[in-house]
Every structure is written in C-alpha cells, then in structure tokens.
Structure 1
C-alpha cells in the first residue's frame, strides 16, 4: 500500500467518523512563540486544548508536516544512521475537544489498524499508564486482546504533558511486533518487552494521549471538565509496517528520492555501508529542505534559518563524502517536489524558489567547506600527530559548518585525537547564548498570564464584534475587564474598533471614555480570541456603556502604508519575477518596511520602475475590495498567502482587481487614490537572499518631497546658482576639485627631480651619515612631507631638515632614515630641538615630524645648529 493511499485512507476513515479533516499547518508556528518548528499534530490545536480558543468543530483529523531538528526535539545527528529518525516527517492524528474520550479513541485506533489496514491482531501490543485501569479494561473489552499483551508503564513512557503545568494525562501506545517469524507473537514479560523495544524489535506506531487532568503549580492533578484526546502516528513508520519493510527508508516515500541521488552521484547504494548512510541523509534532508523553504524558512545564521542551514550543509557534507564536488541536494530536492507536490501543492507553486535557494546555499557551502578543509590541514597536517583542540573543532563546526563526525573521521584518518571535552565546553557556551537569544526573542516563553484573571460584566454575555474594518469609533459596552499588575486596566469591548498588531500592521491607539472616567489606550492585544485594549485610567472606573475612539490620523496613515505594501509586493513580482515572496513587513503610520526574497541588490532602474508602477496604481484609483471565503477557494483564485501565517477555514481576501490579491487581516484604504503618493527611501540586504525596501506614503511622502526641495534650495544657495543649474554647477565644482588635486599631486612629486638632487648634493657627512638642511619656498606642509618622503628614500642613511621661510606658513619638517631610528635617533626628537631654537614646538613620528615656527627670523640660526644637534645625538647612539 503506497504512502499516499495510507494517508488518504486514514483521513477518510476519520471523516466518516464525523471528524473535520484539517489541512496541515505551516512548519513555522505562526502564533506560537514557544516552538521553533511545528513538531506534532496537536500544535495547530494548542490554544484549543489550553482553552484559549474555541474551534468550530469538536473532533478533527490531520496529516501534519513536522520537523524535529532543533531545540528540545532534535533528531538531526541520528538521521541516516537509524532506521526511523527523520528531520521531516508526517504525523497522522485524530483529536477530540471535549467530545469522545478513551473508549472511542481506542475503538477507532483498533478498527483502523486491524480492519481498514489489515494489520494482523497477533502482531499488535499495547502499553498504558500503570495507573490507568480504565484504559487497560477498555483494551481488553474492545480489542479482545490478551491481558499478557497489555503492559503498564511509568510516566517516562506513558504520561504526557504540554508543560510543567496545565493539561496533561496518561497515554496508551500501540506497538508492532518486528521479531523474527519464529518468535513473533510469543509472550514476553514487561521487562523483556521494554528491552526488545530498545533493540527495535517492538515498534511504536501510534500514541493515544488522554488529556484528563490539569496540573497546578504544586504538581497536583485536577480532573478537567471536558477531557480531550490527542493522537499521533508517524506516516513513515506506518508505511514501513504496511509495506513489509524493516526501515522507513525502504518505503516508497524515500526509494525514488534515493534513486535520484544515486543517479546524480554515481556511487552504488548499499544499505549497511557508510555510503548508504550518506544517501539516506541526502534523501531525508532533501525532504526537510524542500518543505522548510516552501514554508518560508530561509537559510541564515540564527533561529530557524540556522537550523535549515545546518540541514543543508550536513547534506552537502554527505555528498562530499560520496565524492561529489558539485551541487547535489538541489537534484534531490527536485525529486522530493516531484514525489510529494501533488499532495502538498505549495512545493509545486514554489518550485523555482526552492530550487534556486537550495542551489545557491550548496554553492556557498562548497566554497566554505574547501576553506574549512584548508584550516583542518593546518590543524592536523598529514604525517603529524597530536590532539586537535576543542576550540578549533568548534570553530570548524560553527564557522565552517563541519558536523563533528566529519572532523572525527578526518582526524582518525590522519592519526589525530580530538579534545571532545573542550568542544563540549564551547558547545555548551553556544547553547547558553542561544537560550538567551531565544528568551529575548520570546521563543520558549509559556502561555501569557495576560489571558488569566478576567472579570465578566454581569448581564452581558454577547461575543465581541470586531468593528475595525468599518469604523474608528463605537458606542458600546464592556464585556470583561482585568486590572493589570502595573496599575493599568485591560478591557474587552462588545463592539471593538481597535486593531491589534498582526501581519506586520501595528496596533491602534486611542481612548475609551465611560461615566466619570477615561482611558488612554496605549496597547492593544489579542487574548482568547478577542481583542483587549490596555491603558491607564483617570477617574473611578465603573463598568458600563463607553465610547471607544481610535486616533484617526495615524490609522488612516497606517492604512495607506498597508495597501501600498500590497501594491509594492505585486510590482516586485512583476519586475523581479515570481520567486519574490514576502518575508516580513512593518506597517506603521509613518513608514512601511517590506522584506522579500531575492538573490541580489536591485538596480537603480529596477527600484525606479517598481516605484513608478506603485504610483501608477495609486493614481488609477482602483477600488480596494475585501471578501470572506473558504481558504481553498481563495488559494484556487490565486490569492497570495504568507509562508508562516496560520489560516482558518474562512479567510479574508483583500483584492485590488487586476493588480493584487492577498490573504490579509489588516485595515486598508477604500481606493488606491487615497494613498496619494508613494516613495521608496531605500533598498538593502538584511540576510542572504532577503532584501528590504523602506518607503513612505501620503503626508509623510509629501513631507519628504518638501524636505528635499528645501535641501536643493539651500545647496543652490551655497553654490551661488539657481536650482535648475545645480547639477552642472556641482559637476563644475567637482572638476575644479579634481584639477586642484592633480596640481597638489604634481607639487608633491615635482621635487623628486632636480630639487632632490640639489639637496642631496649639498648634504654634509658625519661618519657616513648624511645631513641635509634647506630653507626656502617649499609650499604647504603636505608638499614638504612629500618632498621629505623622497629624500628619505634617497638619503641612504641620514637626516633631512626642511624649513618653509618664503611663500607658505613658516614650518619645519624633519625626516630620519630607518637605520638611524634603530640607533635611537628620531625625527620627533630632532624637530623639537630645532623648533625650540626658532621659538616654536612640534612633534610627530620617529621617521617624520613637523613643527611650527614662533619667530621666522630665528630660523636661519636654528638651521645652522642642525649639524651640531645631529652630532650630539649620534655621539650618544649605539653604533
């Protein structure tokens, strides 16, 4: 049975059992900062399980894309080595939100496995939590399974909890007997069962979690009023069972992909060889790379992008071990798209983007790995011996992307030991830095306490009406309120005109006024499916009728920027290509910022063209329409969806007919003409393959135009010309500057001919040391220094003292050759003595120094003393 059929039959079975079949959510949890990646089927329902959201269904089923390659759930180094570990996999699951519980969950699982999929009953074993007598009895009753094949295990194996506190409960696992045929089905003790499970002879294929408790801060368990069910079954494992193979990599999910890698590399694939491991890594990492790129993760040096980069580089390294020195993973990624694109159309829709970025990252790393090998050659040269320091191993790992097993393998080949303790110290330090960065970014932070402690207003049980799309003010009532620890008040209004920050658009600000009190709204947040406004209250707060008003000018400016962002996105795709996708945005009253995928800087002409296209759309005054429709219908119509956003069944589509159509929950202008004017301020790079445009619209764009005009007027005034003549005037000034520079360079070098020869001919000799002294018209200090440089080069061994006494500012410059500097004779010491005789002072460096002249009339006398000064210094200097 092919994996595609297994997936379909699983979902169809639960659809017939009244479950809402939900599409897989993105690998990037759009509204869950506690996770790096979606790593289980329950992630998209987490807020439902926590009671923070209410789903429109009470039972659901999914085939969820998952990645476990970073943070707590990290299987990366085991991939390719074991038969079961993957970075990317699919989790089949069925869920009950206060609907059915243990009986039906067990019945569904047993019926699906034994009847729908035809797995022999005698090859299935079950574990329950050792305290869960109810689940044990249900298994015996429903499955008619022997009591000797139901084991009670402890918390480690059969108790699940989301966090230290909150929903939790016992779980029941179903295992498949993989023992050799002669031993298969024979009874074992619990201890033997656990031991054989460690050896892989019993394979866990399905886990049924029964969330029936709420664990408080003291660790006490309290029964939940509406127990839930959360199950998970890996498609890859189930496929290996149903296809009768002993490893996930032997299923049809991988065989075609591995075959493509073999075709590209040209080395035979044998399972139990190092080459076999490398091919399996390529296949697994090709899947992870394709799906992560499709869901908007981009290779970088931090967060999710860093994990993807490590996956990519680990794959490149294994291709390298197979002897391949050209991009290889990109070919595997294309095979993944061909294999899975029908089931996951985002792969087909973003093929060009996925392929081009995989290739570019491979090419970058192939250059890097060569540099890393050069460093390794320095650390462990062929024919040598010793230990490679842990810090150097970590540098190879962190800077050059060398997995530790590559370093270990290369070290063994050359007879070197590795300081693994030192490496672990460096790695621990990096992990600590990563934890601090994640904490600062909000990743790993548990559910916000803001959701707790709300007080309902008696008699008003209506749900909240989100009015921000149609109004900026409302006469309404308070549904619930909460007094914050910092003294502010948080309110949830029945009719709410305030927009809470989402999708890059910043929150509104404004006021809420009640009877005898008012609140300045300085924060807007989402909580439990509603919007809450937060601020300081003046007066005595009394729940009742209120007037809620959004500050209108900032809202309108924000709307201009948001609609302009959609026009910008469309223009970029037309000018640069369909590979352009949004990677982030900021929509504020005073500006917009738009990050997008593109391989290099835009040319000035491209920037100008995009700016012109957006303004043409503004001046065309198109209508801006918004409609609610089913998510599949919106995508089928061509609506753009953000990579990391989580969408429901019904989505809001914002359309500018003929120009742009995107899924968007933000506020917009009614017609594009209300934007007024659009100006791009800058285009820059923010990460590899990610560009950023910053722009302004409306009143801010107008202010920028006026500011630029003022600058032009002031510049024209400074250059004594008219504004229309400013450019040729600037060109004239630049040309004059270039002419002056040429004259200066000529002056600096003109002394290198006859003047230098004349000065050298006049030099006095003191025991082989030449002393040049000269007073005259040498020009500026720069010209004197240029002449001094030439003299230093041609003196051989000596000192030169030049004094400007005619045309320019009185100045003395001294130069000393390097051999005399080594004997302790320095130009700064000479110039101080000479300058003192002329009533001046100075200083500088050992090879060249300068001084001002206090009394020009004393310069000739000072110059006559130069020989005496140098003689004195030579007398005290070593030979």
Structure 2
C-alpha cells in the first residue's frame, strides 16, 4: 500500500472519530530546554499534559516528523545494521486531552489496523503494564479487560515498567502504556518459537508498531507519583514500520518510501542494493541519514559545531564516511541524493519545495568541507596502526578536534576493526576544552509550587500595556551553580518572553513598598517564565509588574528594522533569500539569511539605502491579530522556517507590497521612530547562510559620531585633508620597505647557507649539520633547514639560537632516516634540552625546544656531536 494512502486512511479514520488533523511541528525545537529535536508526536502538546494550558480541542491527530539521535531516544547505532531502525521517521498519532481514555483508544487502534489496513489479526499481539511493587503500581487491569474483549487472552502479555510505563523524562506526566506488536515471520518459524517469547526482544521481524500511552500520573522531583487532574491519551505509530507490516515486508527499507531514494543512490554510486552485506548497510545508513539531513536543514538546523547544528553535522559526516569507504564515493553525492527525498515528501511537507536550492547548497558545502578532512583523518588512523585493543582518548580527541570526526564516527571506524576507543579519556579532554572556552553554569530546577491551580497559562498584554496587576500562578527554585534564582509564572503579564529572535523584557515587580527586579523573561514550551533573584515577600498578593519601557522601545525599533532589512535583501539579492535566524536586542540587530556568496559593497549600500528610505517615508506599521494562516500566506506573508504556527497568526505589514511577515514580536507604530539604520558587518556563518549585523536609532547616532571623530583624528595624525591619498602613499612606502627587507633576508640567508654548507660533516651517506646560529631569527633557520633537507636528503640538522637571552634548539631529521635508524626528534631534543633547563616537542622528523639557561648552549652542541657520532657509527 502506498504511504500516501496509509496517511490518508489514518486522517480520514480519526476525523470520523471527531479529531482535528493538525500540522506536524517543526523537527527542530525552539522553546523547550529539554529537547533539541522533536522525538515524538506528543512534544507539541507537552504543556497540555503538564496542565499549563487548556487545549482548544479535545481530540487531535497528525503525522509528525521525528528525529531520534541523542539522549534517552537514540537510534543512531542501530541504523543500517538492522532493517527497521531510523534516525528520522514519521509518527502517526492520535491524542485525547481529558476526553476519551483507554477503552476508545484500544478499540479504535484495533479497528483501523484490522479493518482499514487489513492486518492479519492472527499475527498481532498486545502488551499491557504488569505493575511494579516498588512504585506501588498495580497491573493495568482496565487495559487488560478492554483487550480481552477483542483478542484471545493468550495474546495479552504483561510488560515491565521499562517497556510498558511511559515517562516524559525524569519528572513530568507519565502513565502505563499498551503496545501492539506484529509477527512478520513465516509459519514455520512461528511454530518453532512462539511469538510471545520474542515480544520486546529486538527481533527484526517481531516488532512494535503502535504504542498507546495512558497519561494519568505526574512524576515529582522526589520520584513520587501524583494523579493528574485530567487523564490523556497519547499514541504513536511509526509510518515506516506500519507500511512494512501492511505489505508483509522484511525491512522498512523495502517500502515505497525508500524506493526512489535507493534507486537514486544506485545511479550515483554504480552499486546495487543487495550486492553484499557491507553495501546493504551503507545504503541503509545513507538513505536514512539523508532524510534526517533534509528535514533538519529545512526546519532551520544548519550544520555547525553547536547544539542541534552539531547533531546534523554528525549525521551528515557519518553518511559521507559510509559513501567514501564502502561505495567509493570520493566526491559530494548527498546533495544530489537530497533531491529524491524532497520529491518524495514535497506534497506532504510543503516547505521542502521552496527550500530545495538552499537545502542542496548547504549539503554540498558541508560535504566538500568534510571530504577534505576525512581523507586526512583516515590517513592519521592508518598511521596510528591497529596493534592495540583500545585506542587512546588522545587520538580520538585529535580526530575530533583536528579532523572533525564526531566520536560516534571514530567509534564506528574502529569497531569495524574490532577495536574499542577510550571514551572516558576523550570525555575528560573534551570537558577540559569546554571549560577553557567558556564557563558553563550548571542549572538545577526544583518542582513547580502551584499557588493558583485553577488558573492555567498566562495572558500576555504586552502589545498594548507596559504594566499590569498580576497574581503568581506558580514558581520554582532554580540553582545556577551556587546561586539561587526563581522562575515565576503570572496569570497576566506585559513582559515579552524571548522568542522569534527577540530578547525577553526586563523590569520589576512591586508589592507595596517592595521592588524586586525581573532580570529575564523566556518561554518554556508555552509558559512565560519571569526570572528573579528573589521572590516577593507576599506571594499570595496582587503584584504590580512593570517592564523597562525605554529598553523595550529600542528593541521594537530594531525588530521593525529587521523586517525592513529582510524585505530589502529580497529586493536586492532575489527571492531565494529567507530568514534563518535573528537576534533583536536593545543595542544591535543580527539577521541570518540564505545566500551563497559574499555581498559586494555596492549591494550593501543599496540595501541600507532602501531601509533608510522606508524609515524616512514614515510608514505605518500595521499589525493584525488572529489572521487565518492560509489567508496570511495567500497575501504573501513570509514565515520563519522551523517556527511553530497555529491556525491563527499575527501579521505585521510595513507597506504590504514591501514587507509582510508572520511575527509575534514588538514593533514601532511607524517607521520614522527607527531614526536611522546602519549596517556594521556582513559575513558567512555556515554553508549557504550569511549574517548582517546592524544598528539603529541612538546606537547609529553614536556610531556616526565615533566615525566622525576618528576621521578628524586621522586628518590630524596624517596632517592632511585627503586621508585616502595619504594612506595610499603610506601603503606604497610600506610595500617598498617590505621588498627591501625580503631582499636583505635573502642576502642574509644566502650568506648563512654558504657558511652552513661549509660545515657539513658527511658520514657514509648521511649529512650532519650542527651549528650555533646565535641571534639569527628562528623562521630563517627553519626555512634554511627545510631547503637543505630538500637538497641534501639523508640529513640531520641541529641548530641552537639565543634570541632575547632565551636559548632555542631546532632538530630536523630526514624522514627516511627516522624510519631506517629508528630516530625520534622528540626524544632526542628533550634529552638535549636538559642542558638549557627546558623541554620541547614536535614530530618525529622535526622538533623544537626552549629553555631558561643560555649558558648550556655549548653543552647542547657538544652532546649533539657525540650523540650523533655514536648513532652514525653504530
């Protein structure tokens, strides 16, 4: 059965049962600190389960794009090795928010599987939660009773807490679950080993296809369970596995979802899926990973070294390595393969078509960059050899830090050779590097304390007002290292939470004579959280909230300017420009956008002029709330990819023919309030993504005054009114002096070379040079050593220098001599460096050492001569 038909049957079935079909949330997660990627269909409904907000509808269903590559849900290692695990997959799901519960969920799941998808009932088995005495949880008899009305009791299997008690995380909503499994083995195998013995035993043909979760408890921080005020249903069924089951296939990779992708890879590689075990694994890994890459990039996770971007980079590099090592693909290929993924899904996930060029360009640039370091890294692994059973953490870190090998890629490469890696040492080195690069604060949150349980969510009034009279709904204590802070949620607030690139408001709360600062406002899922160093003394009282109005004003100016900049970029560079991220603060605005080349200064000027012209025009900033999203898009409103939008959206227009965007941020009333716009810089931040930093209003005025002062200072310094002419003259003089220095250095080097050549001692076919270069420059001596080694071959070059009263030793040994005579410049130089009270290092053929005692130089030369004489005689 075609997967398009499978989806439609699911949607039609649950619509008939009163469910609203909602869009998939983006695969990248914006406002949940516990997640980087959507790993289940329930993620977008988390606040409803937590009781923070009320659902607008009691029943929903959808297909959700999911990614599982880290943390508790990590399927990366299984992908390709088995035939049914995936990093990216589609999850079909239906939800009930305080409406139907176990009976209907079980009944409808069975109905659609057996009556609509026509699965063989004899092959289906179900599990229920068998209870857990340590938690005081009894067997899920309700589910058992409902199931025994449908299936034979022998097909109902009690499951453990691990398999049949679902938890969102260490804390939060949880409850028993009931899984539906299918046995796809042939009759002979089933007769040999009965199905019930293989349930949840990782058998490739006895697999779970649907999980029905009954959320009825809340796990507290102390581990205890409380009953939730409302009971919910949360189900999830993998589309790929369902398709495999419907067509009685042995692998999800044999379903029609993967057919076109596998065919494309066959055409690109010249290999055939099914040729060999290694080729099959490589095909499965690559075809799985390219889906993950396409969907994450399309939703805004660009390959980088940070957070979600690094996960995408890891997946991409893993795929490139399989192509390189197994399919002999030494040139970029994933960008071409991505086209087949986009074509497969473009009618289901509409944002893919419009981003096709961007996705392919990002993948191409990332592939090119990694292929260069991949070859070098694999060479380094080859040099290291495979004589030991465990690879040092130092080498693993070197591959990570120098060659860009994610640890799981290095682990995979060595595992294929039967060798383990020292993960603990790697983690230790990585942690040291992180500590050096930044101070990371450890955050620990306590449970929420509810003061007004009957109230849910926060009414935001910050578009119209900058103060409010509010009540605390709930709060929690948060420890940042040793500092105690408080997260506070109010029933009403004028504080804008950090969202959509705009920084959150700051301000204060007033309780009588007491004034308490609010230092940050952010969103956690749909909660607006106010951060303070203290709680007000009377937490039950009405509290006055006030934002920093001046700061908000500057933020609003920068946000409106960002919209003007976006429109100007599309006007000058083309419609391919789309927003990839932003930062809007009170001092600066930063705008990231899709574009594949540096913007020339003429275009930068055009963009600035357009923005400033619109500011001068004094255009009204028109804001419309509760616009139907389809109508907004029909009017041409641009949306930020990766952002989650509901059915009703907020539309911000600045001359609708010029700029119209979906936006929840704060803005000026008309463009003249912005004052002036100035671009500070334009740069590349990753493949296919450029960044502009700019300022407005007072900051722009300050910058202009600073520039003016600088120009005046330069005129005084250069004693001229024509700065360009004077600087040009200085550059010419500098070039002339540089040529003179180079000429002098060449003369000096020639003189030095002639002198050193006269000192060469020849022993058999080895050229030995030992010399005190005194105050010569290290670069010059090193350059000379390389030139002589190139010319003479079989050379040992030992030089000592005494620059700035600090002794330096340089030792170069021809590579062939290192191998032939088992010499190591590192070991030798450290032995010699004891004479100058120093130490050194480098490579086998080239090492340097520094020391403190200049009086030991003669002893270095003396021991060097006797040491090499002894080595050469032997």
User: Could you say which TM-score interval applies, normalised by the shorter chain?
Assistant: 0.7 to 0.9
Measure how far apart 1:75 and its partner are.
1.8
1:160 to 166, 179, 189: 166
Measure how far apart 1:252 and its partner are.
0.6
Contact 1:639 1:661 in 2 (8 A): yes
The reply to whether residue 507 of structure 1 matches residue 504 of structure 2 is: yes
Give the corresponding residue for 1:22: 22
Unaligned runs of 5+ in 2: 131-138, 759-766, 777-799, 806-857, 867-874
Distance 1:357 1:310 in 2: 15
Give the corresponding residue for 2:2: 2
Q: 1:591 to 1:138 in 2, by over 3 A?
A: same
The reply to whether residue 589 of structure 1 matches residue 586 of structure 2 is: yes
SS of 1:253 mapped into structure 2: helix
Give the corresponding residue for 1:677: 676
Measure how far apart 1:516 and its partner are.
4.1
Q: 1:511 to 1:223 in 2, by over 3 A?
A: closer
Contact 1:582 1:597 in 2 (8 A): yes
Q: 1:329 to 1:345 in 2, by over 3 A?
A: same
Distance 1:438 1:734 in 2: 37
Give the corresponding residue for 2:234: 230
Q: 1:5 to 1:516 in 2, by over 3 A?
A: same
The reply to whether residue 333 of structure 1 matches residue 338 of structure 2 is: yes
Distance 2:418 2:392 in 1: 5
Distance 1:521 1:608 in 2: 40
Measure how far apart 1:430 and its partner are.
6.9
Give the corresponding residue for 2:375: 370
Measure how far apart 1:402 and its partner are.
6.3
Distance 2:582 2:484 in 1: 32
| 1:720-762 deviations in Å (ceiling 9; x for gaps) | 334xx333344445556667777x769x96xxxxxxxxxxxxx
Give the corresponding residue for 1:842: none
Q: 1:388 to 1:299 in 2, by over 3 A?
A: same
Measure how far apart 1:715 and its partner are.
2.1
The reply to whether residue 455 of structure 1 matches residue 483 of structure 2 is: no
2:620 to 619, 623, 630: 623
The reply to whether residue 150 of structure 1 matches residue 156 of structure 2 is: yes
The reply to whether residue 568 of structure 1 matches residue 572 of structure 2 is: no
Distance 2:440 2:804 in 1: 54
SS of 1:679 mapped into structure 2: strand
Contact 2:183 2:195 in 1 (8 A): no
Contact 1:826 1:847 in 2 (8 A): yes
Distance 1:788 1:149 in 2: 91
Contact 1:827 1:846 in 2 (8 A): yes
The reply to whether residue 107 of structure 1 matches residue 113 of structure 2 is: no
Give the corresponding residue for 2:640: 642
Measure how far apart 1:251 and its partner are.
0.8
SS of 1:316 mapped into structure 2: helix
Distance 1:182 1:849 in 2: 85
Give the corresponding residue for 2:466: 472
SS of 1:86 mapped into structure 2: coil
Measure how far apart 1:623 and its partner are.
2.3
1:614 to 608, 611, 614: 611
The reply to whether residue 177 of structure 1 matches residue 183 of structure 2 is: yes
Deviates more, 1:486-495 or 1:314-323: 486-495
Q: 1:735 to 1:354 in 2, by over 3 A?
A: closer
| 1:31-86 deviations in Å (ceiling 9; x for gaps) | 11212321111111112111222221222112110111233322223222211011
Give me the CA root mean square deviation. 4.2
Deviates more, 1:725-734 or 1:349-358: 725-734
Give the corresponding residue for 2:846: none
Contact 2:397 2:429 in 1 (8 A): no
Give the corresponding residue for 2:849: none
| 1:421-468 deviations in Å (ceiling 9; x for gaps) | 44444555478689999998899x78x54x8225349xx979854322
SS of 2:249 mapped into structure 1: coil
Higher-Rg structure is 1
Contact 1:93 1:230 in 2 (8 A): yes
Distance 2:63 2:663 in 1: 25
Task: Note the 1:694-705 alignment, pairs <5 A.
Answer: 694-705=693-704
Give the corresponding residue for 2:839: none
Distance 1:21 1:652 in 2: 22
Distance 2:487 2:372 in 1: 55
Give the corresponding residue for 1:61: 61
Distance 2:9 2:437 in 1: 40
Give the corresponding residue for 2:146: 138
Deviates more, 1:463-472 or 1:72-81: 463-472
Measure how far apart 1:407 and its partner are.
7.8
Q: 1:35 to 1:545 in 2, by over 3 A?
A: closer
- Say how many residue pairs are matched: 764
Task: Note the 1:357-436 alignment, pairs <5 A.
Answer: 357-380=362-385, 389-391=391-393, 392=395, 395-396=398-399, 399-400=402-403, 420-426=419-425, 428-429=427-428
2:357 to 341, 352, 360: 352
SS of 2:273 mapped into structure 1: coil
Contact 1:618 1:673 in 2 (8 A): yes
Distance 1:148 1:103 in 2: 19
Q: 1:8 to 1:436 in 2, by over 3 A?
A: farther
SS of 1:254 mapped into structure 2: helix
Contact 1:300 1:306 in 2 (8 A): yes
SS of 1:224 mapped into structure 2: strand
Q: 1:495 to 1:135 in 2, by over 3 A?
A: closer
Distance 2:168 2:495 in 1: 33
Q: 1:441 to 1:660 in 2, by over 3 A?
A: farther
Task: Note the 1:222-301 alignment, pairs <5 A.
Answer: 222-270=226-274, 273-301=277-305
2:212 to 208, 212, 229: 208
Distance 1:560 1:240 in 2: 54
Deviates more, 1:529-538 or 1:685-694: 529-538
Distance 2:317 2:458 in 1: 49
| 1:117-153 deviations in Å (ceiling 9; x for gaps) | 2222222111111211221111112x1x111111112
Give the corresponding residue for 1:555: 552
Give the corresponding residue for 2:764: none
TM-score under structure 2 normalisation? Answer: 0.78
SS of 1:274 mapped into structure 2: helix
Distance 2:491 2:301 in 1: 38
2:203 to 193, 199, 207: 199
SS of 1:645 mapped into structure 2: coil
Q: 1:331 to 1:732 in 2, by over 3 A?
A: closer
Distance 1:683 1:582 in 2: 15
Measure how far apart 1:716 and its partner are.
1.8
Distance 1:365 1:788 in 2: 42
Q: 1:569 to 1:512 in 2, by over 3 A?
A: same
| 1:127-183 deviations in Å (ceiling 9; x for gaps) | 111211221111112x1x111111112212211112233322211111112231356
Unaligned runs of 5+ in 1: 750-784, 799-818, 829-844, 851-872
Q: 1:436 to 1:303 in 2, by over 3 A?
A: farther
TM-score under structure 1 normalisation? Answer: 0.77
SS of 2:186 mapped into structure 1: coil
